[in-house]
Chains A and B, each alone.
Chain A
Amino acid sequence: GQNIDQPTEMTATEGAIVQINCTYQTSGFNGLFWYQQHAGEAPTFLSYNVLDGLEEKGRFSSFLSRSKGYSYLLLKELQMKDSASYLCAVRDNQAGTALIFGKGTTLSVSS
C-alpha cells in the first residue's frame, strides 16, 4: 500500500521562504508531484521529480530523496497569492499511471 504524510498547516510572512515536507512509503515508486490548490478550485501542477536532487522553477523548487522516501517543496519570496493548499502526490507502479495524493498542507501567508 501507499502512505503519504505532510504537515496539515503552515504559516509564513510575505517575502519569507517556506519549506513544505512530504514523506512517502510506496512499493513501486515512479515519480513525485507537487500541486497547488486554491480554495474551491482545481489543483495546478507545480513540479515533478523522478530522480534524486533539486528541480528549480522560478520561486518554487522541489527536492527528492528516493532512499529516504522524502521530498520538499521550497517557496521563496512568498507572496499573499501563495496562500493555498500544497498537495504532494506519488505515482506507484501498482496503481498504473494514477497518482496517490497526500492530504495537503494549507499555507497561510500574512503581511
Chain B
Amino acid sequence: DGGITQSPKYLFRKEGQNVTLSCEQNLNHDAMYWYRQDPGQGLRLIYYSQIVNDFQKGDIAEGYSVSREKKESFPLTVTSAQKNPTAFYLCASLPGLGYGYTFGSGTRLTVV
C-alpha cells in the first residue's frame, strides 16, 4: 500500500544532540512538507520541498535543516540550535493542488 512512513514513532534525545527524523513516501508525490505541533499551537510549517534538490524555509525554520536528494525521502534534522525541540513532528506530501495533504503518522520527539 502507498503512504508516508515516519520513523520512529517516539524518539528521546539528550539536550545538545542533533537528531534526524525520517520521512519516506512511495506515492510518487513531488511536494513534501514538515510541520511541528505543540499543544494549543496548531501546525507550524518548518520546511517544504516542491521538487527534488530544492527546498524552502517555512515560518519556524531556525534550528532545523532538511535535504531532498531523492523524491521519496525528506529527512528533517533537529539541531542543537533549536531552543525547544520537544514536540510532535508531522511529515506530509501533496498529490496535486486540488487535493489535501497525505500525512505520516508523526514522530513525537522528547529532548531531556
Contacts and interface: CB of A to CB of B under 8 A. Distances in A.
A95 B45 contact: yes
A95 B97 CA distance: 13
B82 interface: no
B97 A98 contact: no
Contacts of A44: 103
Nearest to A104: B42
A87 B50 CA distance: 23
Nearest to B43: A101
A41 B33 CA distance: 17
Given A42-B105, A97-B31, A98-B58, A31 B41 contact: no
Query: Number of contact residues on B: which range applies?
Result: 20 to 34
B2 interface: no
B104 interface: yes
Given A33-B100, A35-B100, A42-B90, A102 B50 contact: no
Contacts of B40: 8, 103
Query: Number of contact residues on A: which range applies?
Result: 20 to 34
Contacts of B99: 45, 48
B52 interface: no
A96 interface: yes
Given A42-B104, A43-B43, A43-B103, A97 B97 contact: yes
Nearest to B102: A45
A97 B94 contact: yes
A42 B97 contact: no
A12 to B, nearest CB: 21
Nearest to A85: B42
Given A42-B103, A91-B97, 10 more contacts: A42-B90, A43-B90, A45-B100, A95-B48, A96-B31, A96-B56, A97-B94, A98-B56, A100-B45, A103-B41
Interface of A: 8, 30-31, 33, 35, 41-45, 48, 50, 87, 89, 91, 95-104
29 contacts: A8-B40, A31-B97, A33-B101, A41-B106, A42-B90, A42-B106, A43-B90, A45-B100, A48-B98, A48-B100, A87-B42, A89-B43, A95-B45, A95-B48, A96-B48, A96-B50, A97-B31, A98-B33, A98-B48, A98-B56, A98-B58, A99-B101, A100-B59, A101-B35, A101-B44, A102-B42, A103-B41, A103-B42, A104-B42
